A and B are shown apart, each in its own frame.
Chain A
Amino acid sequence: MRDPGLLVMLLATGAGLVLGPQRWKATLAGASASILAMLATLAFVVALPADIVWSVAWAVVAAMAIATWLPRLGAALPVALACSAGAVGGGLSATVPNQLLFVAILALSTVMTAGGARRDWALAPKVVAGWLLAIAALNATLTVLPVTPGYLPDHME
């Protein structure tokens, strides 16, 4: 199985990492934009091919992880990335029955991570960003390798 909830949580963690070190207004704007983007996607966007959505999601996770390491980030890029995370999160959640739960996952994880990364421009978020980048790289690689992923059943003919 592919669990969209876990990937939504990873997106939210990435969003929190890039938003946390910003001024509180930018953090708040970014988190709000992320949630609104997710709600807008759920409300107005028709379900897209799952493989495309998942690939874009991993790219966004990786981009946020890399952005965490960039000096002098500014406010615009983190907010834009958080917004992207929310939109992609909405795409991932388009077919689940309990969509509001996934919105809550996004909101909660973003806020928790931003809070943890907020205190000072410390290197701990960069370490966590390294973990995110590793996870994104692994999963993005899995989609291009000629292997049967474990979530695909076998002996189905």
Chain B
Amino acid sequence: MTRARFVARALAPAMGLVAVPAAAHTGTGLAGGFVSGFAHPLSGPDHLLAMVSVGLWGAFLGRPLVYALPVVFPMMMVAGAVVGMAGIAIPSTEIGIKLSVMVLGGCIALALRAPVWIAASIVAVFAICHGYAHGRELPSAADPMGYSVGFVLATGLLHVAGIALGSLEARRGGTPAIRLAGGAIAAIGGVFLLGAVMR
């Protein structure tokens, strides 16, 4: 199946997840629930770039990682979120998040074709850091379920967006463009990391 069809296939069932969230809300509304959760990965450039990079790198690596990475990431994100929800302090997760942007961007820029287990491991470690950040906020959301649906869905859709961008590889000049984008992401990640370390 082509990547474009994969994107369409992933989006169609995902639409079932958001069929009627507005109609489903009662009481005080979705603020603090689905909308907050959905906005969380989108509102932080570090989260956003890292998620897109997971999809983009997966698309670049091809089968099976184009499908495996968007599955590994949410699973390990849950592990990190559970640690965050339990209030267990993990130092330097913020640095881990910034590092993820730099490393994933660098992998794309360098066209790094890692073995499946290495690519999955890299993504898994970073997913724990990202999940931890979400998990710290989850229990206090007015609607934790809506919040979790929101940020998992937003994360998944960002992966799909990255895969869709990765489909540009097949076009003329696509690979250099993707590698350039990866380089830009890595550079931005470096700036983030420097800021986090200097703080």
A residues near B, CB below 8 A? 1-3, 5-10, 12-13, 16-17, 20, 101, 105, 108-110, 112-113, 115-117, 119-120, 122-128, 130-131, 133-135, 137-139, 141-142, 145, 147-151
Contact = CB atoms under 8 A, between A and B. Distances in A.
B148 A1 contact: no
Q: Describe B's contact surface by its main secondary structure.
A: helix
A142 B27 contact: no
Given A131-B153, A141-B78, A142-B144, 14 more contacts: A1-B33, A3-B24, A5-B24, A9-B17, A9-B19, A20-B13, A101-B23, A108-B19, A117-B9, A127-B70, A133-B75, A147-B86, A147-B139, A151-B144
Given A116-B13, A124-B13, A145-B86, A1 B143 contact: yes
Across the A-B interface, the 3 shortest Cβ-Cβ residue pairs: A116-B12, A5-B24, A124-B9
Contact of B19 (A17, A109, A130): A109
Interface in B20-48: 20-21, 23-28, 32-34
B13 A113 contact: yes
Contact of A138 (B27, B70, B82): B82
Contacts of A119: 9
Given A1-B142, A6-B145, A126 B67 contact: yes
B27 to A, nearest CB: 5
Contacts of A13: 13, 16-17
B37 to A, nearest CB: 10
A151 B149 contact: no
Contacts of A17: 13
